[in-house]
Structure 1
Amino acid sequence: MPISIYDPFHTPGGALKRLPLLKAAVTFIAAVCLCLCGLLYLQLEQSRRHDVESARIASATLTRAMAQQAQDTFLQADLVLASLIDWIQIDGFGPAVQPRLQQTFARRVQSLEQLHGLFLFDKHGHWVVTSFENLHRGAGVADREYFVFHQQNASLIAHIGPAIRSRQNGEWIIPVSRRLNDQDGNFQGVLMAGIKMSYFERFFKSFSLDEQGEMALALSDGTLLARRPFDEGRIGHPLAQENIYNHALAGGMSGDALIRSAIDGVVRLYGHQHLQAYPLVVTAAMSEESILAGWHDRAFQSSLIVGLVVLGICLFGWVFVRQVRNSEKIEADLRKAQEALALIATHDSLTGLANRRLFERALDIEFGRGARQRSPLSLIMLDIDFFKHYNDAYGHVAGDHCLAEVAKVLKSCCHRKADLAVRYGGEEFAVLLPDTNLAGAMALAEQIRRSVIDKHITHSGSPTGYLTVSLGCYAFVPSSLDSIEVFIQRADAALYQAKHGGRNRVAVLSTEGGLDTLARSDR
């Protein structure tokens, strides 16, 4: 029968459970560290987006400035061409007017710094008049893209062609040209203004740009006209492989995108702006590395600070966890010590059976339960026969061994958890049997008596030559009027009857108060 022992660590009522402090501490520390890392991530992501957005605004401003400058540059050249076209169509370009045309061309070139020169070609592509004093006498320009365009198209608007090297002096120029017609509308020649590529290079250099940044002026089909940094090998070639030009053609008049360059693999923020008056597009690109340079510094500093804080929390948590583990170990040791003390306080150290203190507590409990449930309660008292003679003959050490052997018999015979075997004092033992009537108590007593005999413990002081026990049984249904002391006295009286009747037997005290002795002995 399980007997409740007072436990100072037990929660009163059993309704509340002690918190798993170690798990709670580890969970809390992990949650704090995760929250710090999450907040760091959110802060860094917000800062990164802010830097990229600032770069987008700067890129849009830069491309608008570039587009405005490019448009003004080409518009000025176009206005010069338009005014000269009107004059030439009125006066023609015969030998008589060519000296005056040359001077006019020269003055117009001097007035616009972006102009390399002005050139007039006849319908066969031959040189007629230029802004240079010495007329070029080499091959004509019938093979040039701009000349073929005007030869095949009747449009009178300005045409901007791919960048070329001037056959006048080999300088890179961007041709802006217009078609000349006679009075009948037939193709008469081409008037071309060459814009210096170096003019755009100087303009591009006026902007602050990182080492991996790029600026470019291109035709709407992606053909490169001018670029920073300058790369002669790419001038005049289509750049359809560059993702930004596909993006610029598919998008609106302006826009931006983070794109990895197909040329050098660098990720850049490309901004583009189409010119309103001409089929041109300008692009400006800042490398992602330069855009996020400040962000990387802040990210490193913030991560370092948060890392140190997390490290400090982890170190504190490690110390705390160790303290908790030590406390739990101490608590476990205290529990073990308390259990050991409880065992010492309620059990006999020699036999391991319950002592009288636990026996009395069990009687209180079982008396109350028996009274409530009207169930019988039995008690067996037993005593080792001639134990004093045994001690005298074999010594106290052997006597202790003998007591331990009898205790083993009691433990082996008490099969139910509710049964309680007790060392009552000296060589006297008791067995408390809840919910057991007298017949059950007598059967168990007889089993104990025979089991002791079966041990074959030699006892020269006993008439039988071996160790035996005498047992007394008493059973009744307790009530609130009954006394525990009387209950024990009656079982003890039955024991004395068994001893006075010759020992090695079981005696029973009937409920009427008389003694009935079962003369059961091995004879």
Structure 2
Amino acid sequence: MPIPLHDPQHDSGGTLKRLPLLKAAVLFIVAVCLSLVGLLYLQLQQSRSHDLEQAQVASENLTRAMAQQAEDTFMKADLVLSSLADWLQADSYGAAQLPRLQKTFARRVLALNQLHGIFLFDRQGQWVVTSFEALPRGKGVADRDYFKFHEQNTSSQAHIGPAIRSRENGEWIIPLSKRVNDRNGKFAGVLLAGIKMSYFDQFFKSFSIDDNGSMFLALTDGTLLARRPFVEAQIGSTLAQGESFQKWLPSASSGNAMVTAVVDGVVRLHGYRQLDAYPLVVSAASSQAAILKHWSDTAFQSSVIVGLVVLGVGLFGWVFIHQVRNGERIEADLRAAQETLELIATHDSLTGLANRRLFERALDIEFGRGARLASSLSLIMLDIDFFKRYNDAYGHVVGDHCLAEVAGAVQACCQRKADLAVRYGGEEFAVLLPNTDLRGAMVIAEEIRRKVMGKNITHTGSPTGCVTVSLGCYSFVPSGRDSIEVFIERADAALYQAKHSGRNRVAVLSMEDVGDALMRSDR
């Protein structure tokens, strides 16, 4: 049973908990690594957001420039057509005026680089005059969308149609057309200015975009007019199902959006703007990969550096933790060795009971405790009756076994943690009972006596035929000025009384017998 080696009442500050160094080291290393990774993540997120914001500003500026250029391009052509339409409506266009009209058309085309040519068609869609010297041959343009539009609509506003191939020379053009009326306001034909698609291609090329970037000019219904990079098969295709036309344009005439392109499936940051004067939309887009390329390179480099640092911290932590574990193992071994030495120093090796060294320390503690609490302290002294005869009859080896059996019986009767069973010397034992009065000590002493007899250890040299013990009890309330030696002597005197009275019994010290406590007879 564990024996307290100190008085808990003497601990003024309580027991300090030992710092769990291994756990603290692991938590510190994990915290450092997580902090490094967290800081890297925050820095990369901020850097990524900054790059995207800068790209959005650049995209807005680019689409603004594209919108202005496109509006200027169509407006200049529109003004030319408006002046020509007013002239034709006022003066008509007989055979006499055709040479003059042809030269006028040609001069206007030379004045505007964006113009492929100017064409006048009659009400049947046949060529009347063009900016080219020779009229094309063929069935005319009555089947063209722009011609049908003006044939069915009386509006004098310019109309921009889907891109077509010129029947003059096969060049891709964007048709800008106006209705021409006669003097009575009836449909007389169509005046057409063909805007070169190559003009927009050259304009788009003047801007620096990445290989996966794109720029386009489209009608507000999503019909693609011009695009960089130029893919002939895509001209005239519709973008109406794309996010820009389905989601963004209906809510804002300009802005930015990260969009997956319908045409090629590449994720791009699209800046878009709808023109005020014409039903046109311009868009410039940079691929997300290009926008974030510098960020990706930086992120990779930073991640490698942080990864190496984390690896270094981890390796250092592993070594440190290994050392801490070794230290704890060594400390545990030392603690076990210390406990073993403590056990050897304070306990009897034969019986396992406390020895006199521990007994004296316990007496010192219990005297102090009893004095503070004014509680009774009792001591039982006992020894084996006729033990010398037992050794002579059975030998010392069997005698040692007998001592161990008796010690076991004594220890079994010490039920409380504070009770202390002691091998006092030879065949003599002691039981220290804190907070126990004389009546309680006698009960325990009687229990010990019966338990020893109950073992039925044969002893031919004893009148009872078995091993018995004699026990003496003494109890008092410590005052703080008491003598440990006197306390033991009085319990020992009670033991003498038990032996003197016939052995195999429990006795208490009579005060009249105190003077004879040191006188012993043959036991």
Paired amino acid for 1:432: L
Distance 1:230 1:515, change over 3 A: same
State the Cα distance separating 1:301 from its structure 2 match.
0.4
- Equivalent positions of 1:169-318 (< 5 A) are 169-247=169-247, 249-318=249-318
State the Cα distance separating 1:463 from its structure 2 match.
4.2
CA displacement 1:270-324 (0-9 Å, x = unmatched): 1112233322121111111111111111110011111111111122222222222
Greater displacement, 288-297 / 110-119? 110-119
Distance 1:49 1:482, change over 3 A: closer
* Equivalent in the alignment of 1:367: 367
Please give the secondary structure, in 2, of the residue aligned with 1:270: strand
Distance 1:278 1:438, change over 3 A: closer
State the Cα distance separating 1:369 from its structure 2 match.
3.6
State the Cα distance separating 1:392 from its structure 2 match.
3.0
- Which whole-Å CA distance do the structure 2 matches of 1:423 and 1:99 have between them? 143
Paired amino acid for 1:409: A
- Which whole-Å CA distance do the structure 1 matches of 2:368 and 2:351 have between them? 28
CA displacement 1:219-260 (0-9 Å, x = unmatched): 122211111222333322332012123345324442111111
* Equivalent in the alignment of 1:337: 337
State the Cα distance separating 1:498 from its structure 2 match.
3.1
* Equivalent in the alignment of 2:19: 19
Match status 1:348 vs 2:351 = no
* Equivalent in the alignment of 2:414: 414
Aligned 8 A contact 2:490 2:514 in 1: no
* Equivalent in the alignment of 1:144: 144
* Equivalent in the alignment of 2:167: 167
* Equivalent in the alignment of 1:444: 444
Aligned 8 A contact 2:210 2:286 in 1: yes
Aligned 8 A contact 1:119 1:129 in 2: yes
- Equivalent positions of 1:366-445 (< 5 A) are 366-445=366-445
Paired amino acid for 2:281: V
Paired amino acid for 1:306: V
* Equivalent in the alignment of 1:47: 47
Greater displacement, 362-371 / 352-361? 362-371
Aligned 8 A contact 2:470 2:504 in 1: yes
Distance 1:48 1:481, change over 3 A: closer
Please give the secondary structure, in 2, of the residue aligned with 1:349: coil
Paired amino acid for 2:193: A
Greater displacement, 506-515 / 153-162? 506-515
* Equivalent in the alignment of 1:321: 321
State the Cα distance separating 1:385 from its structure 2 match.
2.3
CA RMSD of aligned residues (A): 2.6
- Which whole-Å CA distance do the structure 1 matches of 2:188 and 2:154 have between them? 11
State the Cα distance separating 1:138 from its structure 2 match.
1.8
* Equivalent in the alignment of 2:79: 79
- Which whole-Å CA distance do the structure 2 matches of 1:50 and 1:433 have between them? 80
Paired amino acid for 2:120: L
Distance 1:68 1:507, change over 3 A: closer
Which blocks of at least 5 consecutive residues in structure 1 are unaligned?
517-523
- Which whole-Å CA distance do the structure 1 matches of 2:74 and 2:374 have between them? 118
Distance 1:180 1:356, change over 3 A: same
- Displaced runs of 4 or more, over 6 A: none
Please give the secondary structure, in 1, of the residue aligned with 2:391: helix
- Which whole-Å CA distance do the structure 2 matches of 1:103 and 1:123 have between them? 22
- Which whole-Å CA distance do the structure 1 matches of 2:247 and 2:493 have between them? 112
Aligned 8 A contact 1:223 1:236 in 2: yes
Please give the secondary structure, in 2, of the residue aligned with 1:475: strand
Please give the secondary structure, in 2, of the residue aligned with 1:129: strand
Paired amino acid for 2:156: L
State the Cα distance separating 1:175 from its structure 2 match.
1.0
Match status 1:476 vs 2:472 = no
* Equivalent in the alignment of 2:96: 96
CA displacement 1:90-136 (0-9 Å, x = unmatched): 43210111122122222322333322211111122221111222212
- Which whole-Å CA distance do the structure 2 matches of 1:447 and 1:249 have between them? 101
Paired amino acid for 1:92: S
Paired amino acid for 1:417: K
CA displacement 1:59-106 (0-9 Å, x = unmatched): 222222222222222222223222322332343210111122122222
Paired amino acid for 1:434: P
Match status 1:458 vs 2:452 = no
- Which whole-Å CA distance do the structure 1 matches of 2:72 and 2:410 have between them? 117
Please give the secondary structure, in 2, of the residue aligned with 1:13: coil
Please give the secondary structure, in 2, of the residue aligned with 1:99: helix
Aligned 8 A contact 2:3 2:420 in 1: no
- Which whole-Å CA distance do the structure 2 matches of 1:214 and 1:478 have between them? 101
Aligned 8 A contact 2:239 2:262 in 1: no
Aligned 8 A contact 1:509 1:515 in 2: no
- Which whole-Å CA distance do the structure 1 matches of 2:469 and 2:213 have between them? 108
CA displacement 1:377-422 (0-9 Å, x = unmatched): 3322212223223323333222221111110110122223332211
Greater displacement, 451-460 / 307-316? 451-460
* Equivalent in the alignment of 2:68: 68
Aligned 8 A contact 2:59 2:285 in 1: yes
Paired amino acid for 1:200: F
TM-score by length of 2: 0.91
Identity, in percent, stands at 72
Paired amino acid for 2:177: S
- Which whole-Å CA distance do the structure 2 matches of 1:437 and 1:88 have between them? 137
- Which whole-Å CA distance do the structure 2 matches of 1:437 and 1:56 have between them? 93
Which blocks of at least 5 consecutive residues in structure 2 are unaligned?
517-523
Match status 1:498 vs 2:517 = no
State the Cα distance separating 1:3 from its structure 2 match.
4.7
- Which whole-Å CA distance do the structure 2 matches of 1:353 and 1:306 have between them? 62
Greater displacement, 413-422 / 349-358? 413-422
State the Cα distance separating 1:267 from its structure 2 match.
0.9
Greater displacement, 265-274 / 437-446? 437-446
Distance 1:308 1:393, change over 3 A: same
Please give the secondary structure, in 2, of the residue aligned with 1:358: helix
* Equivalent in the alignment of 2:111: 111
Paired amino acid for 1:107: R
- Which whole-Å CA distance do the structure 2 matches of 1:409 and 1:286 have between them? 94
Aligned 8 A contact 2:494 2:510 in 1: no
Match status 1:154 vs 2:162 = no
State the Cα distance separating 1:512 from its structure 2 match.
4.6
- Which whole-Å CA distance do the structure 2 matches of 1:440 and 1:112 have between them? 126
- Which whole-Å CA distance do the structure 1 matches of 2:483 and 2:491 have between them? 13
Q: Aligned pairs, how many?
A: 515
- Which whole-Å CA distance do the structure 2 matches of 1:433 and 1:248 have between them? 92
Distance 1:434 1:239, change over 3 A: closer
Paired amino acid for 1:346: T
* Equivalent in the alignment of 1:520: none
* Equivalent in the alignment of 1:521: none
Distance 1:163 1:477, change over 3 A: closer
* Equivalent in the alignment of 1:519: none
- Which whole-Å CA distance do the structure 2 matches of 1:241 and 1:55 have between them? 25
